[in-house]
């Protein structure tokens, strides 16, 4: 399947759609999931176009997973979370909805279930949560 230049994450990368940005470098971009299933739910994406893990270059995978680790640690610190869930889906049959490679990171606490998918986050709360992760990142 071909990469669609008009997918929502491509629009975010081009600045055509807003997001709560956490981090950016030459190859990688990170921002809050707009429908967070846990506080601090963040998406990490390579800037290069790929649908998912299956068509991404090994170089993009290597740089992106390193950022997953860095942002994951910062999100755990920001939310005082002892656990971190990393999720990544490939094609619709596996649950992929947005077809630009992305890794989910979700800070996890004992006894706190994930929220159901599809519930929009409160924008004011997302602003605060993004700032918490950026602050933890700056301290790391």
User: Over the Cα atoms of the chain, what is R_g?
Assistant: 14
Tell me how far, at minimum, the Cβ of 108 lies from ligand 5GP, in Å. 16
With beta carbons less than 8 A apart as the criterion, state whether 20 and 127 touch. Answer: yes
Tell me how far, at minimum, the Cβ of 110 lies from ligand 5GP, in Å. 23
Distance between CA 85 and CA 36 in Å, rounded? 13
With beta carbons less than 8 A apart as the criterion, state whether 59 and 22 touch. Answer: no
Tell me how far, at minimum, the Cβ of 32 lies from ligand 5GP, in Å. 6
Tell me how far, at minimum, the Cβ of 26 lies from ligand 5GP, in Å. 21
Dihedral angle over CA of 86, 92, 127, 31, nearest 10? 60
Residues that bind ligand 5GP (CB under 6 A): 8, 17, 19, 31-35, 89, 95-98, 102
Q: What is the DSSP string of 56-89?
A: S-HHHHHHHHHHHHHHHHHHHHHTT-SEEEEE--
Nearer to ligand 5GP, 52 or 63 (CB): 52
Distance between CA 24 and CA 17 in Å, rounded? 16
Nearer to ligand 5GP, 78 or 100 (CB): 100
Q: Which residues are catalytic?
A: 102
Nearer to ligand 5GP, 4 or 139 (CB): 4
Nearer to ligand 5GP, 48 or 53 (CB): 53
């Amino acid at each position: 399947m071909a990469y669609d230049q008009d997918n929502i994450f491509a629009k975010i990368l081009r600045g055509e759609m807003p997001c709560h940005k956490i981090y950016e470098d030459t190859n990688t971009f990170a921002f809050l999931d707009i429908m967070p299933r846990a506080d601090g739910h963040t998406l990490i994406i390579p800037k290069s176009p790929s649908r998912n893990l299956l068509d991404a270059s090994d170089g993009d995978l290597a740089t992106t997973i390193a950022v997953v680790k860095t942002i994951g640690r910062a999100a755990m610190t920001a939310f005082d979370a002892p656990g971190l869930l990393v999720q990544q889906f490939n094609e619709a049959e596996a649950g992929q909805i947005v077809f630009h490679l992305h890794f989910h990171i979700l800070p996890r606490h004992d006894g706190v279930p994930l929220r159901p998918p599809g519930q929009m986050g409160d924008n004011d709360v997302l602003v605060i949560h993004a700032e918490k992760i950026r602050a933890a990142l700056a301290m790391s």
